[in-house]
Chain A
Amino acid sequence: MNTAVKSWTRAALKRWIARYCLAPLLLGLVLAASLCVQTVFPYGLNYIFLAAVVATAWFGGWGPGLLASLLAPVVFDYFFLPPLHTLDVGPEMRPYILPFVLSAVAGAWITSNRAAAKRAQGRLQESEAKFRRILTNLPDIAWTGDAEGHIQYTSPKVETVLGWTKQEICDGGIAFTMERVHPEDVEHVQIAADDLFVRGIPEDVEFRWRRKDDSWTWLRCRASAYQVNGVMFADGVLTDISLRKQAVLDLQAKTAFLEAQTDATIDGILVVNSEGRSILRNRRFNEIFSVPLELLEMQEDAPLLQHVVSLAKDPDAFLARVQYLYMHPDETGQEEIELANGTVLDRYSSPVTGSNGQHYGRIWTFRDITERKRNENKLRQLSAAVEQSPVSVVITDVQGSISYVNPKFTELTGYSAAEIQGKNPRILKSGYSPPEMYAVLWETIRAGGEWRGEFRNRRKNGELFWEAATISPIFDADGSISHFLAVKEDITHRLALESELRHAQKLEAIGQLAAGIAHEINTPIQFVADNLTFLEEACGSVMPLLESSTAALRALSSETAAQIDEAAKRCDLDFLREEVPRAIEQSLDGARRVATIVRAMKEFSHPDLTCKRHFDLNQGIDSTITIARNEWKYVAEMATDFDPALPPLLCYPGDVNQVVLNLIVNAAYAIRDRGEPSKKGQITVRTRRRGEFAEIAVSDTGVGIPREIQGRIFEPFFTTREVGSGTGQGLALAHSVVVRKHGGKIWFETEPGRGTTFFVHLPTGGGQQQEEK
């Protein structure tokens, strides 16, 4: 610092002396010299004057020079010479005038010279100011230093760039400079300095330097050396390259990332430039297309393309598509490509365009979606299976809100998917299934188990149906229950069929039993009836004999007559005569009745399940009434009104008998339900021919059918009787037999409290066959 101040002081002193002391000093010298000349040469004074003016102009510039040249003659004239105007200017006066002229010319010349010099200096100063401004504004730092490491000069920018002031740096010396260089860079900075100063090679070095705020800044130093008086100096420029350095680093990182990404991606990537040459393809690309080794090393594109195309299932279409995209560089394309080996690729191609719209090339991305495709297909198949399943599928969340139902569910229940969404399946509840069952169900599935069972549910329209359900939880990936799945099958029809089948089996068993019993009963009946017939005849022939013989004996003697009367009285002959024939007759009647019942039983229990037969309906109904006697005889009188003109009915006789039996049994129940056991009701069975139909009408005087259940009595399993007293299948079975099996009709007319009449119409021709004309 001391040194700097000293050198500055010296220089300033020199400039001050040159500017302010030199001219007056010289002027004094000139004046002294002119006084000496005056004394030697009388006119010599004018030359001194001339010299003074010249000197004044020389040093003082054109202003003092002009002043001197105007004032000096006056001063001189006043002090030393007569006034000039008084002078007689003649040749003798030339020595007077000449110095004036000369001094004027010299003064003017000097003055103009001085002015030029002045101007030059002004320009220099201007130039210096300009450079100073440039230096000040330049982002780089200009510096000058010596081999010792002393920085003599730095441009003012240094403070903004490095944080240190120019003074601090210049005063810091070599230690200050070097100790702030980044340790990793010290070595090559040292080498560069050596090169610069020792060998004189201009250097260009980049290094990190610690700023005043302790942050690092990247600097680039370009310097060249020169020698002054055998001492090496150097000056140079420091550029802050932090930003550039950072950008490069960023770019390197980015490139590294990109490269890693390109190789790490699951997609095969191919980048081609605008000329269509491939400039990048990643490992995955080679894998996907199993690019052989020799092609990998090859730089040509044509074989590669050929190889890729050859793998496609439809190479022509693939190639056409690729060519199309090359022809239309701006288009983005995506499509699925199937390879011959079954691999499916999702190919995406998009142009690479710069911000200025320039076309750089195209990126092709190939993603192997075989697995996804397979999963999609599987999912589609599974979903189709669920959608088209003949069983209904319901998915609920853990709270039981419905999130999915398949179309079968809609078909079965009548609820559309939209209206059932979010509802609880309990809206299907009919109330027929016990609450305990639901409790067990929830307990089972909440515990993660599977529940199987049967529900009796209600459709939207109120109809009941049975379904067999399997309900199980659906688990999350973490093993917790996320949903419940119910798969349910409508088993109403099956249950009805099973019930019918059971019924048929029961009938068959009864039929077999009846046949066996019939055989056992028929034989004794045969001889009981035969013997009774015999007794009847015998009695018929013995009685007259008895009459005539007693009469003959009576006629013999009164004693014999008395004996006979006595014997007759003892055995009450009159009573015997009266009652024995009657007893025989009634026994015969009983035997016939038994025979009728047995035959009725056989006829009834002879279901011909496989085909239709002609059937005497009146006879069949008669038999049925006989065997159902026990059902009605305590509650009702039975009346029949058969149409004798009824043609034989082509039908399933067993089934028709069953229908009639059900109607008669129902009629008896309806009468019993009146709760008047003392008063017998009336059941009337009528048959009529109604065109192509035979009509059976079964009327009772029972309670009638309540209005609210009138619409449902033909539903399967619908019953109003207590559990155990009926299957609830009677009328459903009748409906099925009449409508489904025979193409007939069944309906009823009822008046609550008064009675019901069921009507059955059966086609006499069996539904398909019509009678011949």
Chain B
Amino acid sequence: MSAKRLLFVDDDRMVLAGLRRALHEMRESWEMEFASSGQEALDMLAASRFDAVVTDMRMPGMDGAELLERVKDRSPEVIRIVLSGQSEKDAMLRSIAPAHQYLAKPCDLRELKLRLTQAFASRDLVHNPAIAAAVAHLRSIPSLPVIYNELKTALRSELTSLVQIEEIVARDVGMATKILQLANSAFIEVRGRVHSLRQAVSLIGIDNVRTLTLSIHIFSHFDRNSAIASEVASLWEHSAQVASLAQRITMLESGSKTMAEESFAAGLLHDVGKVILLSERRGEYVEIRKRLEAGAAVEDVEIELLGCSHAQLGGYLMSIWGLPTSLVQAVACHHRPSQAFESEFSALTAVHCADALVNTAGEGDEKTAMDMAYLEKLGLAGRTDAWKELLAQAQKAK
């Protein structure tokens, strides 16, 4: 694996110098370049390939947001990160759109290193550069049109409560992903990462959600009448079921509400890779579906056709968007949990099992089995019946 090339942009040379010195220890895995203006950065980007850009926001001439917009168009595969000292909310909201992640000065460089390392690692799993670029280019994951309109209507009313917004967001894969991205950005004053959707919505606040949705249009949606509308709908249905079941399983196994909420989020997002494919790579997606009907295993088909699985794709998106590692892992490994080297029950476990159970029970073509070796290792092999019971209850209740 070749060294990653990073470009740091800041109008304050002292900051660049400090970063250069402090990140010197990364010299073996990172090649770092420094630019003191947006234009300089663009020139350098034109001259050579970069894996990531870390830029200040407020700079004379071209500001960070503009720079990132251009980077996004010219080199969509580049991971775009803002490292800004500003704290005015409006400016922050504006700069969120073109960036994958938003970090605040003063930033503990360990955090920066962690986020970048994770993003690079996920990307390395996506062997198809075109797809990697497409994912990095995404501003948003499309939502279900119905839910998107519901959210807009709800936000236009002054009477809408936070709970209602939470409830709407928790039904949509696209919104949920974006909301978690925002909640894990530095513009929310929170210490530590945000794993729960409910927490994410309330931390952002209804006003910000309103501004972001109605003015900045951070959410997008599928075409209502497209040929794949039914595919989208069934995918949403599946995600909701898995999310719900994963939450129940976690509640049953750990009793922790916090963890159950994390599992819910992971369950909702576990097929975000498929959503990306549906939206960006429709032809390949259709091809994959065809092959699945012929009885092939989903991961094999995807790797053969795309160079990566939908799980890896989802994990990649989530990692460059700065979502917490545990969520990224739960999504990226939901078909092959043992790859995560985890030794105890986690959101990953819940999502893996929930997905398998829902698939087995459903009429879909995708049949995945639970990784019994993995469960054996965690000492949970005997719990599967109880989980099945949970699913049965949920379906009955429905």
> Which residues of chain A have a CB within 8 Å of any CB of chain B?
512, 515, 518-520, 522-531, 533-534, 537-538, 591, 595, 598-599, 602-603, 606, 608, 610-614, 616, 619, 648, 650, 768-769
* Contacting residues of chain B (100-114) with chain A, CB-CB under 8 angstroms: 104-107, 109
Contact of B85 among A522, A603, A608 (CB under 8 A): A522
Contacts A531-B22, A648-B199; is A526 near B107 (CB within 8 Å)? Answer: yes
- Chain B residues with CB below 8 A from A523, complex form: 12, 15, 85, 105
B231 close to A (CB within 8 Å): no
Q: Mark B81-119, 1 if CB is under 8 A from A, else 0.
A: 001011110000000000000001111010000000000
- Chain B residues with CB below 8 A from A534, complex form: 18, 21-22, 24
Say whether A591 contacts B18, CB under 8 Å: no
Contacts A523-B12, A534-B22; is A611 near B85 (CB within 8 Å)? Answer: no
B162 close to A (CB within 8 Å): yes
> Which residues of chain B have a CB within 8 Å of any CB of chain A?
12, 14-15, 17-19, 21-22, 24-25, 58, 83, 85-88, 104-107, 109, 161-163, 189-191, 199, 202-203, 205-207
Contact of B207 among A515, A531, A538, A610 (CB under 8 A): A610
Say whether A518 contacts B87, CB under 8 Å: yes
Say whether A526 contacts B21, CB under 8 Å: no
With both chains docked as a complex, state the minimum distance between the C-beta of B21 and any C-beta of chain A, in angstroms.
3
- Chain A residues with CB below 8 A from B206, complex form: 611, 613
Having A519-B87, A524-B14, A614-B203, one finds 4 other A-B pairs with CB under 8 Å, namely: A519-B85, A522-B85, A537-B24, A599-B189
With both chains docked as a complex, state the minimum distance between the C-beta of A225 and any C-beta of chain B, in angstroms.
122
- Chain A residues with CB below 8 A from B86, complex form: 515, 519
Say whether A603 contacts B189, CB under 8 Å: yes
Inter-chain CA distance A616–B192, complex, in Å, is 11
Contact of A522 among B105, B163, B207 (CB under 8 A): B105
Q: List 22 A-B contacts (CB under 8 A).
A: A518-B85, A519-B87, A523-B85, A523-B105, A524-B14, A525-B105, A526-B15, A526-B18, A526-B83, A527-B18, A527-B19, A528-B18, A530-B21, A530-B22, A533-B21, A534-B24, A613-B203, A613-B205, A613-B206, A614-B162, A614-B199, A616-B191
Inter-chain CA distance A524–B12, complex, in Å, is 9
- Name which residue of chain A comes closest to B206, CB basis: A611
Say whether B202 contacts A614, CB under 8 Å: yes
Inter-chain CA distance A522–B205, complex, in Å, is 25
- Chain B residues with CB below 8 A from A591, complex form: 106
Inter-chain CA distance A525–B203, complex, in Å, is 26
Inter-chain CA distance A537–B26, complex, in Å, is 12
- Chain B residues with CB below 8 A from A595, complex form: 106
- Chain A residues with CB below 8 A from B12, complex form: 523, 527
- Chain A residues with CB below 8 A from B161, complex form: 768-769
**8 tightest Cβ-Cβ pairs between the two chains A and B:** A527-B18, A530-B18, A614-B202, A534-B21, A522-B85, A530-B22, A522-B105, A525-B106
Inter-chain CA distance A526–B11, complex, in Å, is 13
Say whether B202 contacts A533, CB under 8 Å: no
Inter-chain CA distance A512–B88, complex, in Å, is 8
- Chain A residues with CB below 8 A from B107, complex form: 526
Say whether B163 contacts A537, CB under 8 Å: no
- Chain A residues with CB below 8 A from B104, complex form: 522
Say whether A648 contacts B18, CB under 8 Å: no
Contacts A522-B85, A602-B87; is A612 near B24 (CB within 8 Å)? Answer: no
- Chain A residues with CB below 8 A from B202, complex form: 613-614, 648, 650
With both chains docked as a complex, state the minimum distance between the C-beta of A705 and any C-beta of chain B, in angstroms.
34
- Chain A residues with CB below 8 A from B191, complex form: 616, 619
- Name which residue of chain A comes closest to B58, CB basis: A519
- Name which residue of chain A comes closest to B110, CB basis: A533
- Chain B residues with CB below 8 A from A537, complex form: 22, 24-25
With both chains docked as a complex, state the minimum distance between the C-beta of B264 and any C-beta of chain A, in angstroms.
12
Say whether A531 contacts B163, CB under 8 Å: no
- Name which residue of chain B comes closest to A531, CB basis: B18
- Name which residue of chain A comes closest to B200, CB basis: A614
Interface centre among A526, A602, A603, A650, by most chain B C-beta atoms within 10 angstroms, is A526
Interface centre among B18, B88, B109, B202, by most chain A C-beta atoms within 10 angstroms, is B18
Say whether A533 contacts B109, CB under 8 Å: yes
Contact of B205 among A515, A524, A533, A611 (CB under 8 A): A611
With both chains docked as a complex, state the minimum distance between the C-beta of B394 and any C-beta of chain A, in angstroms.
16
- Name which residue of chain A comes closest to B210, CB basis: A611
Say whether B19 contacts A530, CB under 8 Å: yes
Inter-chain CA distance A523–B59, complex, in Å, is 12
- Chain A residues with CB below 8 A from B87, complex form: 515, 518-519, 602
- Name which residue of chain B comes closest to A766, CB basis: B162
With both chains docked as a complex, state the minimum distance between the C-beta of B294 and any C-beta of chain A, in angstroms.
44
- Name which residue of chain A comes closest to B11, CB basis: A523
Inter-chain CA distance A616–B191, complex, in Å, is 9
With both chains docked as a complex, state the minimum distance between the C-beta of B107 and any C-beta of chain A, in angstroms.
7
- Chain B residues with CB below 8 A from A531, complex form: 17-18, 21-22
With both chains docked as a complex, state the minimum distance between the C-beta of A593 and any C-beta of chain B, in angstroms.
11
With both chains docked as a complex, state the minimum distance between the C-beta of A515 and any C-beta of chain B, in angstroms.
4
Contacts A519-B87, A530-B18; is A612 near B162 (CB within 8 Å)? Answer: yes
- Chain A residues with CB below 8 A from B203, complex form: 613-614, 648
Inter-chain CA distance A525–B105, complex, in Å, is 8
With both chains docked as a complex, state the minimum distance between the C-beta of A522 and any C-beta of chain B, in angstroms.
4
Inter-chain CA distance A602–B24, complex, in Å, is 31
Inter-chain CA distance A519–B57, complex, in Å, is 11
Inter-chain CA distance A393–B215, complex, in Å, is 51
Say whether A616 contacts B190, CB under 8 Å: yes
Interface centre among A595, A598, A611, by most chain B C-beta atoms within 10 angstroms, is A611
Interface centre among B25, B85, B106, by most chain A C-beta atoms within 10 angstroms, is B106
Inter-chain CA distance A606–B85, complex, in Å, is 16
- Name which residue of chain B comes closest to A605, CB basis: B87
- Chain A residues with CB below 8 A from B24, complex form: 534, 537
- Chain B residues with CB below 8 A from A518, complex form: 85, 87
Say whether B22 contacts A602, CB under 8 Å: no
Inter-chain CA distance A428–B21, complex, in Å, is 73
With both chains docked as a complex, state the minimum distance between the C-beta of B375 and any C-beta of chain A, in angstroms.
29
Inter-chain CA distance A534–B17, complex, in Å, is 10
Say whether A522 contacts B18, CB under 8 Å: no
With both chains docked as a complex, state the minimum distance between the C-beta of B194 and any C-beta of chain A, in angstroms.
10
Inter-chain CA distance A603–B190, complex, in Å, is 9
Inter-chain CA distance A343–B19, complex, in Å, is 95
Say whether A522 contacts B189, CB under 8 Å: no
With both chains docked as a complex, state the minimum distance between the C-beta of B204 and any C-beta of chain A, in angstroms.
8
With both chains docked as a complex, state the minimum distance between the C-beta of A370 and any C-beta of chain B, in angstroms.
52
- Name which residue of chain B comes closest to A616, CB basis: B190
- Chain A residues with CB below 8 A from B85, complex form: 518-520, 522-523, 526
Inter-chain CA distance A335–B271, complex, in Å, is 89
- Chain A residues with CB below 8 A from B106, complex form: 522, 525-526, 529, 591, 595, 598
- Name which residue of chain B comes closest to A610, CB basis: B207
Inter-chain CA distance A518–B203, complex, in Å, is 21
Contact of B189 among A519, A528, A602, A769 (CB under 8 A): A602
- Chain B residues with CB below 8 A from A519, complex form: 58, 85-87
- Name which residue of chain B comes closest to A623, CB basis: B189
Inter-chain CA distance A613–B201, complex, in Å, is 9
With both chains docked as a complex, state the minimum distance between the C-beta of A772 and any C-beta of chain B, in angstroms.
8
Inter-chain CA distance A538–B18, complex, in Å, is 13
With both chains docked as a complex, state the minimum distance between the C-beta of A765 and any C-beta of chain B, in angstroms.
9
- Name which residue of chain A comes closest to B56, CB basis: A523
- Name which residue of chain B comes closest to A600, CB basis: B189
- Name which residue of chain B comes closest to A536, CB basis: B22
- Chain A residues with CB below 8 A from B109, complex form: 530, 533
- Chain B residues with CB below 8 A from A606, complex form: 189
- Name which residue of chain B comes closest to A527, CB basis: B18
Inter-chain CA distance A769–B202, complex, in Å, is 12
- Chain A residues with CB below 8 A from B83, complex form: 526
Inter-chain CA distance A591–B106, complex, in Å, is 9
Interface centre among A520, A523, A612, A619, by most chain B C-beta atoms within 10 angstroms, is A523
- Chain B residues with CB below 8 A from A768, complex form: 161
Contacts A533-B22, A537-B24, A613-B205; is A527 near B189 (CB within 8 Å)? Answer: no
Inter-chain CA distance A260–B12, complex, in Å, is 109
